[in-house]
Every structure is written in C-alpha cells, then in structure tokens.
Structure 1
Amino acid sequence: MPDQTWTVLRGGRTNHLWKVEDPRGARVVKRYASNAATPLFRNDPPDEARVLVALEGTGLAPQLLYAAGSSTDPFLVYRHQAGKVWREGPQKVARTLKALHARPVTAALTALPAAPDGTDALAQQTRAMIATLPAAQAGRLPRPDPLRHMPPSGIRCLLHGDPVPDNLVCTSDDLDALPVLIDWQCPALGDPVLDLAIFLSPAMQQIARGRVLSPDEKHAFLAAYDDPAAADRLDALQPVLHWRMAAYCLWKIHQDRPDMAYGAALAAELAALKDLSG
C-alpha cells in the first residue's frame, strides 16, 4: 500500500512484531514464533484474540482488528497503543490489574486454561522445570523450608498471565490514567495473586528496569490494589512463588539459545527467597 511504513518493534522477547503506519493509522502486526511457549508463559494466538475481543472498549487492552495466517503461521493485527512502557508508579499498575480482575468471565472466556492454584500446583510446576535442568544447576535452587501449605483458592478471574513492566503501556502522565495491558498470548483463569506476583517479581523487574521494586513501592502497589485477602494469600505463597520464578530463570539460562539477561534476574529471586528464610 502506498505511504505505508513498517518498523520492527523490539520490546517483546518472544514473537515478531511490526508497527505499520499509513493514512488509516498505526497498527501492530504480530507474527507468532513457533515453539516459543515456556513452562510459565504460553504462546497462544486463539486465546489472545479471544481476550482482545472480550475486552474491546474497556481500555484494558488494544483493539483487535483481525486474525489471519494459518494454524502453523498465525498472526494478529491490532491497534497500536501509543504511550510509554511502565517504569514508575506501581499504584497505576495495581489499579489496572484490579480493573481487569473485576471483569466478568464471559462464556467466551471459559475456554481459557486454568492457572495453577495453591501451593501443591505451584510446587509441581516448579519441580517440573527443575527436572529438566542439569543436576549441578538444579542444586542451586534450595527448596523453601518451611513451605507453608496453601489450599487452592478456587477463584477463577481473568488473568493477563504476564503483566511485566514491558507489557504495560502508559498512555498519559496523568496519575488517574490506567496503563494498558499488551501482549496477551498467555491469559488464564485463576487466582489474581498470580498476576500480582508476576508484576512484583524481582526477576521481572530486574530484567525490565534493572532494579527490583523497593519495599515502599511494593507497599504502594498492594495498597492501591486494595484486597486484603489477596495480599494475605500472596504473602503466604511468597516462598513457592520465588522458588518457581528462580527455577524459571535458571531454565531460561540453560536453553539451546540461553537468555543471559536472566542471570541477574535469578540472583534477584534467590536473594528474595533467602530474605524470606531469615
């Protein structure tokens, strides 16, 4: 098309993204990388399309324009979300996640997979990752002791699944303007604590910002989310959540194409785990 420009977007760590601009406006073309799913983060084009349709008009996600390609080479096209990726002000993120988790789970969303719920399911997911590691590396991940048992919450709300800083676009400097969530390739239904844990994760903050959240920032985030019951579950699950993320970081480092950015991320998670043990 005349007067059309394509620019590679390099923010994502999984799929291929381009910003396309022409007189009709700016759009994102997302081509899914094959075999890009990981033990914690799926890469599911139909689920991403399903959620974008369900959230249209809410301001929580970009507008889907169309899905195309084939089952072996899928891609989505959606409106480009202007703004800057989130770096400061965790209260804004908390309010976005609170609004997301309060959305009704419509019939179209009931097909989404269930997220692991409770200590046993999270520990099982962690052990599965550790089992794939070289024995010498697996020994770097001490099992939290004691590992407090938390039963499944039974909650089934819509989860983004990967609300890391680079997946939150701030459209305005206005403190009341909520960041928009992008990159919806691993949504799920489950306990909102899982989304909170991903955002608060020392590893994910280290990779995106080069530093973890301060205690004051964590407190501000949880205060803005304003759900004491969720905060209590998050606190009880911290040992297994840090253990799980540390295992994921080590898994990323030991793939055929290692992502060495996860070295500092691993150190951040192990430090958090050590702090919990006193």
Structure 2
Amino acid sequence: MTEAELRRFLCEQGLAGNRTGFRKLKGGYLNTVWRVDAPGVRLVAKEFAEPMTGTLFPNLPDDEAEALRRLAGLDVAPDLVGYWPEAALLVYEFVEGDMWDGDMPSVAELLLRKEAADPSGFRKVPLTSPNIIAEGAAFFARCQHMPASAPLPAPGVPALEKLSLVHTDIGVNLVGSKTALRLIDWQCPAAGDICEDIYSFLSPAFQILAEREALTSIEVDAFWQALARPDLAERYALLRPAYAWRFAGYCAWRAEVLTDAEICARYRRALGVELDYMRQPA
C-alpha cells in the first residue's frame, strides 16, 4: 500500500484520521512496516509480503496474529489491535522505548514469561539434533560452494517434556527494558523447543545479521545466571552445534542467492562465525 492507501484503509477501521502521521520504519528484510501516530495512540501497521517457502523464516501473517492473541496479557509481545487477512495487514500497539541494548536478565525473564503461552496448532519445527542437522544439509545442498567444515556428531538429547510457543528469530527483535521489554516481529512462530529461541538470541550470527557484534562471554553468562535453569543450559549445550550447523547452511544459501552486496557480505561473515560457534566447547 501507499501511504494514502494505508491512511484510507485505517480511517475506514476507525484507527486513523486527518491528524494521523505515518512514517515508514527501517530494519525489516521483507515486510513493509509503518509507525502510525494518532492523537493519544501510537500503532504499528505491518503489510505482509507474499508467504515464503524453503526458508527457516516463513512469512505467516495468520500465525503472527494468532501468536499475538495467545501472548496477550503475558507482557511478552505487543498488543494486537487488528488483523485483516484480505489486506495482508496487521496492526498492533507501538512499543515505547529503545531497541534492546544489552540487558541480559530482562531477556531471560521475558523467555520465562513466554512459557505460559499455548503453542498448540502452530507449525512444528525439528526437535532432535539429526533432524536439525538434516535441515542445514538441505540448505548447503542448494549452494555452489560447501564450507570445509562438517556437522559435529549428533548427541542424544532427552525427549522434550513441553512444547513452547517459539519466536524462532529473536536476534535483536526486542524493544523496551526491564519488565516492559517486548519481543516483536512474530511472523514465523512455531511449536518447538525453548532452546531454539535461546539459540536465536545467543547465536553470534543472529546478532551480526542485525548489525551488532556477537555477545560476549560475560553477557552470555549473565543470561544463564538470570535464567536459572540448569536443565535448559544442559539441553542447549547438546543442541547448539546442530542449530549452528543449520543456520550456517541458511547463511551460506542466502549469501549466494541475494543480490545486495552489503547484505551478502553480512551473511558470509555470519556463516564464518556460526561455524566457529558450532565447534565451541560446551
């Protein structure tokens, strides 16, 4: 939509008027996102691009709307205002505050709050090391150039006792601070392992793709101390090499198929650090 079309649509829904301001937000790789400022209220309007297949991060507007409904009242995500599938448009309340900048305990506490959400009905993602590694191999198979590395042997991982509603792409999709911290951009949620969300936050490649430096060992230690779940720390140590191999494959594929030289260089850097992360001792 153009700005005029979006204004007209939101006016018809009673969400905008003549005094409403519109500003396109930066940072998204795919969807078009607007900040909508009306007297007394600030909103975000997200117009979805076509759904994607063959990627780790499908673009699923119906699922984002449902995830925001499930997370209502948990102090985890923005509050849903409305969703119009026919227009591929989602509107939620604007989260006040700055982008997350290093408060590790707040992220740990948010992930624990998120565990109260019901994951039933969402797409399933792999839960075992062999299946996660197989996804990575499928991405590498699309590439013209394979790295010299190979996946580490897949250890046995205890059966998951509880599925979680996972975001799958946390990175730095975090706004606010302390108990007001919120996780945004829920367009690829899934029913899976909370360790997948922990990975998409701690992974150096996810941070680099968000144009940040990888987290330091001090920051990572602060996260685990705040989480205070040694069971998850042990499980994560077993799954981390598989997650890293899979995401390295994704980065290798993206670096070959995208056309923007700067973004491709970012994916190549992410690929290298992720292969190192795969080999990092537990």
How would you bin the TM-score normalised by the shorter chain? 0.7 to 0.9
**Partner in structure 2 of residue 273 of structure 1:** 278
**Partner in structure 2 of residue 2 of structure 1:** 18
Q: Secondary structure at the match of 2:222?
A: helix
Q: For residue 76 of structure 1, what is the amino acid of its counterpart?
A: L
* Counterpart mapping for 1:2-21 below 5 A: 2-21=18-37
Q: For residue 111 of structure 1, what is the amino acid of its counterpart?
A: G
Question: Do 1:117 and 1:154's aligned partners in 2 also have CA atoms closer than 8 Å?
Answer: no
Unpaired runs of 5+ residues, structure 1, are: none
2:237 to 235, 238, 246: 235
Q: How has the CA–CA distance of structure 1 residues 146 and 58 changed in structure 2, closer, same or farther, with 3 Å as cutoff?
A: closer
Identity %: 32
Q: For residue 217 of structure 2, what is the amino acid of its counterpart?
A: P
Q: CA deviation at 1:276?
A: 4.0
Which is further off, 192-201 or 210-219? 210-219
Hey, which bits of structure 1, 4+ residues long, moved more than 6 A? none
Q: TM-score, normalised by structure 2?
A: 0.86
Task: Give the superposed CA RMSD.
Answer: 2.0
User: Hey, what's the Cα distance between the residues in 2 that align with 1:200 and 1:37?
Assistant: 25
Once the two structures are superposed, what CA deviation does each residue of 1:24-60 show, in whole Å capped at 9, x if it has no partner? 4111110111144562112111111111112222221
1:97 to 111, 114, 120: 111
Q: For residue 128 of structure 1, what is the amino acid of its counterpart?
A: A
Q: For residue 269 of structure 2, what is the amino acid of its counterpart?
A: A
Question: Do 1:156 and 1:190's aligned partners in 2 also have CA atoms closer than 8 Å?
Answer: yes
Q: Secondary structure at the match of 1:21?
A: strand
Question: Do 2:42 and 2:93's aligned partners in 1 also have CA atoms closer than 8 Å?
Answer: yes
Which is further off, 250-259 or 209-218? 250-259
Matching of residue 169 in structure 1 with residue 183 in structure 2? no
Q: CA deviation at 1:111?
A: 1.2
Once the two structures are superposed, what CA deviation does each residue of 1:198-229 show, in whole Å capped at 9, x if it has no partner? 10001011222531111111111111111111
* Counterpart mapping for 1:1-278 below 5 A: 1-36=17-52, 39-70=55-86, 73-101=87-115, 103-105=116-118, 109-134=119-144, 137-138=145-146, 140=147, 142-150=149-157, 152-165=159-172, 167-170=173-176, 172=177, 176-257=178-259, 259-260=263-264, 261-276=266-281
User: Hey, what's the Cα distance between the residues in 2 that align with 1:162 and 1:264?
Assistant: 18
Aligned residues, how many?
A: 263
Unpaired runs of 5+ residues, structure 2, are: 1-16
Question: Do 1:120 and 1:149's aligned partners in 2 also have CA atoms closer than 8 Å?
Answer: no
Q: Secondary structure at the match of 1:254?
A: helix
Q: CA deviation at 1:125?
A: 1.1
Q: For residue 160 of structure 2, what is the amino acid of its counterpart?
A: S
**Partner in structure 1 of residue 8 of structure 2:** none
Q: CA deviation at 1:96?
A: 0.5
Question: Do 2:71 and 2:117's aligned partners in 1 also have CA atoms closer than 8 Å?
Answer: no
Question: Do 1:49 and 1:76's aligned partners in 2 also have CA atoms closer than 8 Å?
Answer: yes
User: Hey, what's the Cα distance between the residues in 2 that align with 1:141 and 1:237?
Assistant: 21
Q: Secondary structure at the match of 1:85?
A: coil
Question: Do 1:93 and 1:178's aligned partners in 2 also have CA atoms closer than 8 Å?
Answer: no
Q: Secondary structure at the match of 1:56?
A: coil
Once the two structures are superposed, what CA deviation does each residue of 1:49-72 show, in whole Å capped at 9, x if it has no partner? 1111122222211111111152xx
